[in-house]
Amino acid sequence: MGKTRLEAFSDGVLAIIITIMVLEMKVPHDPSLASLAPLVPVFLSYVLSFVYVGIYWNNHHHMLHACTHVSGRVLWANLHLLFWLSLFPFATGWMGENHFAALPSALYGVVLLAAAIAYWLLQQAIIASQGQDSVLRRAIGSDWKGKLSPLLYLLAIGATFVAPWIGQLIYVAVALMWLVPDRRIERTLTHTA
Amino acid sequence: MGKTRLEAFSDGVLAIIITIMVLEMKVPHDPSLASLAPLVPVFLSYVLSFVYVGIYWNNHHHMLHACTHVSGRVLWANLHLLFWLSLFPFATGWMGENHFAALPSALYGVVLLAAAIAYWLLQQAIIASQGQDSVLRRAIGSDWKGKLSPLLYLLAIGATFVAPWIGQLIYVAVALMWLVPDRRIERTLTHTA
Amino acid sequence: MGKTRLEAFSDGVLAIIITIMVLEMKVPHDPSLASLAPLVPVFLSYVLSFVYVGIYWNNHHHMLHACTHVSGRVLWANLHLLFWLSLFPFATGWMGENHFAALPSALYGVVLLAAAIAYWLLQQAIIASQGQDSVLRRAIGSDWKGKLSPLLYLLAIGATFVAPWIGQLIYVAVALMWLVPDRRIERTLTHTA
Amino acid sequence: MGKTRLEAFSDGVLAIIITIMVLEMKVPHDPSLASLAPLVPVFLSYVLSFVYVGIYWNNHHHMLHACTHVSGRVLWANLHLLFWLSLFPFATGWMGENHFAALPSALYGVVLLAAAIAYWLLQQAIIASQGQDSVLRRAIGSDWKGKLSPLLYLLAIGATFVAPWIGQLIYVAVALMWLVPDRRIERTLTHTA
């Protein structure tokens, strides 16, 4: 009841976030290869954020699949998540335009951290709305990736002040962590079923 | 009949409004903390407007749930509401970039007021389309929040010319008024059911 | 079969067009009333185009309701219509920023004319896909508004070179023509039914 | 299961891509005909890209129609396709603003090539998810257009360094190749059925 519109609205916001980020790659006014050079870090930060928004869309999709009742708390927890995701274009653009400098890289991690916490809160809201014997609680299992990610983001934020590239590396590693094993789990599930 | 597309179109417009507002936070060209300082008021005004659009989306969602027939008047009353909501990014950006100065704060209130009136007109259009014994009329009850909000906006618009922060405070208070009790009502409903 | 996605995609494009137009109202950098003055024509042209996109969305909605089969020709006729509608933000912005000067006003009419022709082509494509005894053909009746509009746009385009305000007046009149009688017809239908 | 949201998200992204491209046609600040002249190549590149996105939307629509199960691989192959399509506005703008110069025209071809490969990968992912006796495999037949297009893009990329207009011509030819015969096939199918 109402889940379809929640999904449609979230899809709309995520689709716009993912597409608006590309606007930070400003079209150069001359046709030389040299004019593309300063866009390389902007492009790389775009790729990273595209993957992150893709992961969020993918997980959001699966989580709402297990959601049976949309309570007011779920609605607002979802908007809260969308709020932090809506800051991705800003954080991505600032990091890319400043060639992965320390402070913008740290802010990028703060936005990732806030989004991860918001995702966890939404998960809790859905579980709470399902009462005892929640389908979602069983589906997420130990949720070690959900618990590990915020810690790694914290580590990465600290690391950017030592050397920004360590922070970047952790951001990439967390993204890969979410990408790779999901497939393995799904394959296992399909084989069992 | 046709309600799905009305919802889908409204969701699309609201999703774009909410995401376009964030574009007013222009990415600074240097990576210093100082370059973020002038963005703080823009960020705060973004948070306020995000919450307002969230409230509108939420209430719109519930109102259309109680809508059984989409008449031509409902279609246009809905577009009229979307029109005023589409001015949120402009009003938000002007207020944020000018650090909550009097005139932009007043204009922000005017847009809030116009949107509230448009929402009320849409509500009336739906009630009229349902004839006597309207489901929506019973659902909204006394609608004291819907009646109080425009008065508070008017008060706030006047107050901005005395001291802008009084106006801001009222805008925040109205947003909280919509956020908090909705949950209480829903909880009551769930307990009764 | 496939109609849902055609509607969803069209809704998405129309929602973005209507919201992107507002971006032409650039946020002024000072909080004075004087800084709003040059935005008045931009705002007026935005209102006009908002109404036009609203009319198109409304009519598109009704037309596809009567569409039973989505052929390849229908798909491309729909994209062709969306193409011309996607030029609304440009034409609106150029007319508004240049205070309704002759040439931008004429171009605005050209885009309106092209969209009207594209709408008619889409209508024909749907009628053709339904073969003899087309539901849509009966529903549109004599379609005098559809036939009159292009002629009025042509007249308006010519008139802008005599005095731009005559052209503007015709654009407003055509919009009103679409707005007003639709309600009357619907009311008649509801009374009869 | 989940296909609806995959389609909705893809529709959202494609709708935004198609509409964002038009923003590269910056509104001129004076109302003269001369001010439109430099926009002609931007407009032409917009038309070409609009047709390409239309073709992708159209084919994507048909391909997902034949998709029965959305696996994780399908989800990510779809996001991968959307990634390359999201670079259309940038590639289109750079080519248009630089009046179809060699390097931007080549980059445009690279994005077309990458999108074609991503589309092929998505097709393979769907076929793989359907196992033996895949509906999609039978539906695409020899897929000569899907195989020929990447070769033609490669040829066009090379040709832009000899004379950019040869590359442009090939881009237009490939677009026409996708537009024209589709109608013929569909008409044949309808006549047979």
Which two structure tokens, joined as six digits, stand for C107?
């171009």
Q: Give the pLDDT band of residue D186 (cuts 50, 70, 90).
A: low
Greater model confidence, B110 or C131: B110
Distance CA A147, CA C116 (A): 56
pLDDT score recorded for residue C184: 47
Query: Is the CB of residue D33 less than 8 Å away from at least one CB of chain C?
Result: yes
**pLDDT at residue B103 above 50?**
yes
Query: Is the CB of residue B68 less than 8 Å away from at least one CB of chain C?
Result: no
Cβ contact A103–B31 (<8 Å):
yes
Neighbours of chain D (3+ CB pairs under 8 A): A, C
Q: Which of D9, D87, D107 sits opposite A57 (nearest CB)?
A: D9
Q: Give the pLDDT band of residue D132 (cuts 50, 70, 90).
A: confident
In D, which residues are within 8 Å of C20 by CB distance? 19, 22-23
**pLDDT at residue D183 above 70?**
no
Of A76-90, A141-155, B140-154, C60-74, where does mean pLDDT reach its minimum?
Answer: C60-74
pLDDT score recorded for residue C54: 94
Distance CA A86, CA B21 (A): 10
**pLDDT at residue C167 above 90?**
yes
Q: Which of A11, A31, A190 sits opposite D12 (nearest CB)?
A: A11
Q: Taking the model in full, what pTM does it have? A: 0.91
In this structure, the number of other CB atoms found within 10 A of the CB of residue A112 comes to: 26
pLDDT score recorded for residue C186: 52
Query: Is the CB of residue B184 less than 8 Å away from at least one CB of chain A?
Result: no
pLDDT score recorded for residue D182: 52
Cβ contact D33–C89 (<8 Å):
no
| Mean pLDDT score across all residues of chain B | 89
Residue ranges of B 102-121 with Cβ closer than 8 A to chain C: 102-104, 107
Q: Exposed (0-12), middle (13-18) or buried (19+): which is D110, by Cβ within 10 Å?
A: middle
Query: Is the CB of residue A7 less than 8 Å away from at least one CB of chain D?
Result: yes
Q: Give the pLDDT band of residue A3 (cuts 50, 70, 90).
A: confident
In B, which residues are within 8 Å of C11 by CB distance? 5, 8-9, 12
Q: Exposed (0-12), middle (13-18) or buried (19+): which is D147, by Cβ within 10 Å?
A: exposed
Greater model confidence, B66 or D147: D147
Q: Exposed (0-12), middle (13-18) or buried (19+): which is C134, by Cβ within 10 Å?
A: middle
pLDDT score recorded for residue A184: 47
Of A164-173, B109-118, C77-86, C133-142, where does mean pLDDT reach its minimum?
Answer: C133-142
**pLDDT at residue C190 above 80?**
no
Q: Give the pLDDT band of residue B193 (cuts 50, 70, 90).
A: very low
Yes or no: say if A105 and A49 are a contact pair by the CB < 8 Å rule: no
Cβ contact C18–B13 (<8 Å):
yes
Q: Give the pLDDT band of residue A193 (cuts 50, 70, 90).
A: very low
pLDDT in tens, C94-109: 999 999 999 999 999 9
The alpha-carbon gap from B152 to the nearest alpha carbon of chain C, in Å, equals 23
**pLDDT at residue A53 above 60?**
yes
**pLDDT at residue C193 above 50?**
no
Query: Is the CB of residue A40 less than 8 Å away from at least one CB of chain B?
Result: no
CB burial string B76-85: b at 16+ within 10 A, e below: bbbbbbbbbb
Query: Is the CB of residue B186 less than 8 Å away from at least one CB of chain A?
Result: yes
Answer positive or negative: Cα dihedral of C138, C141, C145, C147.
positive
% of chain D with per-residue pLDDT over 70: 93
The alpha-carbon gap from A60 to the nearest alpha carbon of chain B, in Å, equals 17
Yes or no: say if C63 and C81 are a contact pair by the CB < 8 Å rule: no
Greater model confidence, C192 or C123: C123
Yes or no: say if A78 and A3 are a contact pair by the CB < 8 Å rule: no
Task: Tell me the mean pLDDT in the region D110-117.
Answer: 97
Q: Give the pLDDT band of residue D179 (cuts 50, 70, 90).
A: confident
Query: Is the CB of residue B38 less than 8 Å away from at least one CB of chain C?
Result: no
AA identity, residue D101:
A
Task: Tell me the mean pLDDT in the region D148-157.
Answer: 96
Cα torsion for D57, D63, D68, D71, to the nearest 10°? -70
Greater model confidence, D189 or D98: D98
In B, which residues are within 8 Å of A2 by CB distance? 61, 65
Distance CA B46, CA D47 (A): 35
Q: Which residue reads 């007249």 in tokens?
A: C155
pLDDT score recorded for residue C182: 52
Angle at which helix C164-192 crosses helix C40-65, to 10 degrees, equals: 40
Task: Tell me the mean pLDDT in the region D99-109.
Answer: 95
Q: Give the pLDDT band of residue B160 (cuts 50, 70, 90).
A: very high
DSSP B25: S
| Mean pLDDT score across all residues of chain D | 89
pLDDT score recorded for residue B186: 52
Task: Tell me the mean pLDDT in the region A100-110.
Answer: 96
pLDDT in tens, D40-70: 999 999 999 999 999 999 899 888 888 878 8
Task: Tell me the mean pLDDT in the region B11-16.
Answer: 92
Distance CA B48, CA D170 (A): 51
Size of interface A-B (CB pairs under 8 A): 75
- H-helix segments, chain A: 3-20, 40-65, 72-85, 88-97, 102-130, 135-140, 144-162, 164-192
SS in 3 state form for chain D? CCHHHHHHHHHHHHHHHHHHHHHHCCCCCCCCCHHHHHHHHHHHHHHHHHHHHHHHHHHHHHHHHCCCCCCHHHHHHHHHHHHHHHCHHHHHHHHHHCCCCHHHHHHHHHHHHHHHHHHHHHHHHHHHHHCCCCHHHHHHCCCHHHHHHHHHHHHHHHHHCCCHHHHHHHHHHHHHHHHHHHHHHHHHHHHHC
pLDDT score recorded for residue D187: 52
